[in-house]
Amino acid sequence: MSLHVVIGFGPAGAATARLLTGKGHQVRVVTRSGRAAEPGLEHVALDATDGARLTEAVRGAAAVYGCAAPPYHRWVSDLPPLAASLCAAAEATGAVLVLLGNLYGYGPVDGPMTEDLPLAATGPKGRVRAAVWEKALKLHEEGRVRAVEVQASDFFGPGVTDGGHLAARVVPRLLRGRPVSTLGDPDAPHSWTYLPDVARTLVEAAEEERAWGRAWHVPTAPPQSVRRMVDHLAAAAGTRPVTVRGLPPAALRVASLFSPLLRELREIRYQFDRPFVVDSTAYESAFATGPTPVDDQIKTTVDWWRERTATRT
């Protein structure tokens, strides 16, 4: 049993922490506000951008997992100091640095995204996301840290409530047989990364020395449009098929006047107006693993949301 430190307790951080606990590890979770006690998890309240305090929290750990994310509209200002603190803590303690990233750093591309594509993002959030990994990779190449980044497409699955793609604005509505709306083209192929596969890959990457020193895509099932995913979820829920509508650009512009989140989403609108496909064969081949079967993903997600909505009524 070894100590593992998870920074952030959103869906990915929570899933990773609980997976590590299930494997018998000692787990320390760092968040700004802390949380009530949970079996197997030590919760610590501190600002992870405070490098000195974070280093003390990480000292003695086998790995530190960067799963925290600032509010979406503060990525550009808040991600760099958070990443710098994580790198400093990993360098000072020798813990393996495992970063959870996404696909923004590639920017708009034609065809499936692979890990050897250049980080050529054109928007500020994509550029800052790329810079976080480039800094950690440079430190790794200099022998100052041992780092790996695990990159995922849009999350869905048990525990994923934020965002509107296949989360709170979609699944509860389809469970009631009500229409849903989505950003962009509802028929564009899109990759969806299942949250438990994200946690599994983060933990595997920390344990596998041959994974370090590069970025990997989380094993992700073949792409499906929002409309197809909603059909699958509705079928698993036993509800009638529901109408799926794309949110018109004009409506998005009006709504963004009142929503900071929607204003920020304009930068990555291309991800939903055109095919957005991740290729995860590099990781799947190297580590002889694959995504959770799609039918299992769908059933578990529907069951989780059913239980959640039942306890809230």
Q: What pLDDT does 252 receive?
A: 66
3-154+193-217 architecture in CATH? Answer: 3-Layer(aba) Sandwich (3.40)
Q: What pLDDT does 164 receive?
A: 58
Distance CA 11, CA 69 (A): 11
Distance CA 188, CA 186 (A): 6
Give 6-60 pLDDT, tens digit per residue: 999 999 999 999 999 999 999 999 999 988 878 889 999 999 999 999 999 999 9
Structure tokens given for 138: 């440079």
**CATH hierarchy code of domain 157-191+222-277+294-311:** 3.90.25
Q: What pLDDT does 258 receive?
A: 65
Q: Look over the chain and give the mean of its residue pLDDT values, rounded to a whole number.
A: 93
Give 71-103 pLDDT, tens digit per residue: 888 899 999 999 999 999 999 999 999 999 999
Q: What pLDDT does 290 receive?
A: 97
Q: Is the CA virtual torsion 255, 260, 264, 265 positive or negative?
A: negative
Give 165-196 pLDDT, tens digit per residue: 788 889 999 999 999 988 889 999 999 999 99
| Contact present, 148 and 136 (Cβ < 8 Å) | no
Q: What pLDDT does 305 receive?
A: 95
Please indicate whether the domains covering 3-154+193-217 and 157-191+222-277+294-311 agree at the CATH topology level.
no
User: What pLDDT band is residue 292 in, cutting at 50, 70 and 90?
Assistant: very high
Whether pLDDT at 254 is above 70: no
Burial of 77 (0-12, 13-18, 19+ CB in 10 A): exposed
Whether pLDDT at 212 is above 70: yes
Average pLDDT over residues 220-226: 97
Average pLDDT over residues 260-269: 74
| Contact present, 119 and 130 (Cβ < 8 Å) | yes
Whether pLDDT at 269 is above 90: no
| Contact present, 175 and 306 (Cβ < 8 Å) | yes
State the pTM of this model.
0.95
Distance CA 17, CA 65 (A): 9
Domain ranges of the chain: 3-154+193-217, 157-191+222-277+294-311
AA letter at 270: Y
Q: What pLDDT does 1 receive?
A: 81
Burial of 290 (0-12, 13-18, 19+ CB in 10 A): middle
Give 131-173 pLDDT, tens digit per residue: 999 999 999 999 999 999 999 999 999 999 986 578 888 999 9
Angle (CA) 298-192-207 rounded to 5° is 95
Average pLDDT over residues 121-130: 94
